[in-house]
Chains A and B, each alone.
Chain A
Amino acid sequence: MSLIHSLHVSFVVFLLGLVGIYLNRKNIILVLMSIELMLLGINLNLLSFSVSLDDLLGQIFALFILTVAAAESAIGLAILVIYFRLRGTIDIEFIRLMKG
């Protein structure tokens, strides 16, 4: 499996995550999942380059990002739970309190 193939995969995964964020109009959990997907794409990218360039730094970064992603999803889900407790819904259509 060459570098190009793995980069393609990582790019497509990242793009799917990106599209998932702004095409999704229903569920905020899907947004969080999309963010995870994007982070996965980035991780894959880092790992591919790490292997290709024969450099360990990419894998270290990937490990850090895994940590950060875990923490981020934990905090995000916590916010979500608190938000649901307050509003009784997690439908994106109704999250308009940040209107300018």
Chain B
Amino acid sequence: MYLCILGLPLMGFIGAAGFGRFLGGRGAGVLTTSLLALTFFFSCIVFYEVGICGSSCTLSVSPWFLSESWDATWGLLFDPLTGTMCVVVTSVSTLVHLYSTSYMGEDPHLPRFMSYLSLFTFFMLILITGDNFLQMFVGWEGVGLASYLLINFWYTRLQANKSAIKAMMMNRVGDFGLGLGIFALYTIFGSVNFESVFACAPHLSDEKIVFFGTEFHAYTLIGILLFVGATGKSAQIGLHTWLPDAMEGPTPVSALIHAATMVTAGVFLIARCSPLYEYAPDALGVIALAGGMTAFFAATTGLVQNDLKRVIAYSTCSQLGYMVFACGLSHYDLGVFHLANHAFFKALLFLGAGSVIHAMAGEQDMRRLGGLGQALPFTNTMMLLGSLALVGFPFLSGFYSKDALLEVSYAHFTLSGDFTFILGCGAAFCTSYYSFRLVSLTFLGEPKGPKKAYEGIHEAPFQMAIPLVILGIGSLFSGFLGKELMVGLGTPFWQNAIVNLPTHNTGLEAEYIDQSIKHLPFVLTCIGGFLGLFINSPYLSPTVYKMKLTALGLNLYTFLNRRWLFDKVYNDYIGAPALNFGYNVSFKSIDKGVLEILGPFGITQGIRDLVNQIHKLQSGLIYHYAFVMLLGLTFLLTLLSLENLIQVWVDPRLWFVFGLAFMSYFLAGEKTTDEEKVLG
């Protein structure tokens, strides 16, 4: 049964990809969805057995390659962390499969789409169930590949192709860091198995490693390199630019990538490596700072985005920042708990947005929506529910994880704790603002779109509504149900999956912080929410528009709307120079330049030129020949007579160099004459 969790999505992929032609769109949809539903059922059993009953287990599947002390095997590790992730991944994936059968129902390539979705799920499950870093890397690369295939599912669209390439490339930057991190792990531990590495972790915490000629504390270096991998996959600041662009894919893809699977891999990696990170406080500091900055940056950017999906994408980025800084503050359990809650409400938001886009015939610019509340009451309810869960409204799922995050960051008496608390509160305010701005612009106010779109408006069909309802229930209750289980004080749930040094655990302090601090995020959320509703209401929007047109307002708006100009900086200062370097230096100067001249082209051309020069010496005139004879004789006689003198000063090897120099001289001389010929 545990193997079925991996096997069924793979079967779904093979079935839909290999036999999609015979199954047809509907058949492929039914096949993959039902297989995924079965996987979800098994995942629940795993969660019960492994997590709640506390019987973690490993399965050894087969050796992969063995060489001396190196052993790479295919093995599965089921512990509470894996169990939680399995449930999250398979539940959201199942609902996305079901949703896609209707949302993508008109698409002629539905079997291909369903097969990609199953492939994505399969690789994600490989990632989370692997019992060594190498197998995790397979899943890691696999979800990157599947995301590439899914983002440019509509491969005829130029923008989709570019986005997919961007996603792949940005991820690959992180993957490189992850690869280096795994190499470093192997150097220190001599193994990449989780068991061996984590068992040795407390004993090798003083090891040093030399990297780029400098000696580093091994765990810090490994931790930061692994975090570079997590940065790429989890869209942390610096490598986040692919995430909003990944919106070019169909909406269910966004829901899958952004809610439950791909972006959570980074957080999962950090949580999985908690035994290492606990002994690398510097690495944890870096993670906390990066997470805090991501949360704040993405939340401010989300304030002024006009694309329905882009707002939610930045919200994802921001929430990932929350999870990462929770991990950076040694509260891996909170990070994973927020991950699980976030999966539900973010999938709900994305699928709800998909429902809106579906209803409005593809319109996703919020400035051309509006007034959909009466036309789409069900979607409206679901989106509002998702937004409330996202902003951490009391007793909804976001509340239990997000406010707890902010509390532990305040109770973490370090610089990074204060830093993340302040940025986290700012981000909470912005989150609330843009969530309600989204609701206000989309569902309230006056209709701003074309009349035709409103005439054809329709509520989500059955297959799309079911996932929304289930996710809505999840968003309502997952926080309450999971709180004591996963992040309750002294809960035995995580067993050995998450290691937390007693000195790092501030869970108890977080219970006893000042009452006003505990209320602060909620107050900020309320203010942000009201501002979001009022500023974007028809009464205030003309005033706000005038404010936007002032110099300061325009600058600020442009800065935020252009995503802090990250893309511009990357394109102008990294992308363009890199391409320039690739074309002018490595291609033109080295490949087609130096190597060609020293290699085939230069040698043949050089010898040909030399021969041309030499045969020109034969003018046919007798006195020239006579002169050359005399000259040669004189030269040889001189050499002979001066031999003793010359040998002292001139190394015989230098004659070879002189020969080359003469050759190149002739070559250069011939080049100019060639050019003159061309010019003449």
A: residues with CB less than 8 A from B are: 18, 21-25, 28, 31, 92-93, 95-100
Contacts and interface: CB of A to CB of B under 8 A. Distances in A.
Interface stretch (B254-262, B338-346, B480-488, B616-624): B616-624
Contacts of B539: none
Contacts of A23: 623
B623 A22 contact: yes
Contacts of B619: 96, 99-100
A21 B621 CA distance: 12
B217 to A, nearest CB: 72
10 contacts: A22-B630, A92-B621, A92-B622, A95-B621, A95-B622, A96-B619, A98-B620, A99-B620, A100-B618, A100-B620
A23 B624 CA distance: 9
A99 B622 CA distance: 10
A18 B633 CA distance: 12
Contacts of B627: 22
B677 interface: no
A96 B624 CA distance: 11
Nearest to B614: A100
Interface in B624-651: 624, 626-627, 630
B203 interface: no
Contacts of A92: 621-623
Given A18-B630, A22-B624, A98-B618, 10 more contacts: A21-B626, A22-B623, A22-B627, A95-B620, A95-B621, A96-B620, A97-B620, A99-B620, A100-B616, A100-B620
B615 interface: yes
Nearest to A22: B626
B620 A31 contact: no
Given A18-B630, A22-B630, A99 B618 contact: yes
Contacts, number: 36
The number of chain B residues touching the other chain, given as a range, is: 10 to 19
B618 A24 contact: no
Interface in B431-464: none
Nearest to A97: B620
Contacts of B616: 100
Contact of B623 (A25, A97, A99, A100): A25
B630 to A, nearest CB: 6
Contacts of B617: 100
Contacts of B618: 98-100
Contacts of B622: 21, 28, 31, 92, 95
Among A23, A93, A100, max chain B CB count under 10 A is at: A100
Nearest to A19: B630
Contacts of B630: 18, 22
B623 A96 contact: no
Interface in B600-622: 615-622
Contacts of A18: 630
Nearest to A34: B626
Nearest to A24: B623
Nearest to A25: B623
Most buried by B among A23, A24, A97, A98: A98
B621 A96 contact: yes
A24 B625 CA distance: 12
Nearest to A99: B620
A51 B378 CA distance: 133
A6 to B, nearest CB: 23
A92 B618 CA distance: 15
Contacts of A96: 619-621
Nearest to B618: A100
B629 to A, nearest CB: 8
A30 B617 CA distance: 24
Nearest to A96: B620
Nearest to B629: A22
A28 B623 CA distance: 10
A79 to B, nearest CB: 13
Contacts of A28: 622
Contacts of B623: 21-25, 92
Contacts of A93: 621
B7 to A, nearest CB: 79
Contacts of A95: 620-622
B21 to A, nearest CB: 72
B610 to A, nearest CB: 14
A18 B626 CA distance: 9
Nearest to A28: B622
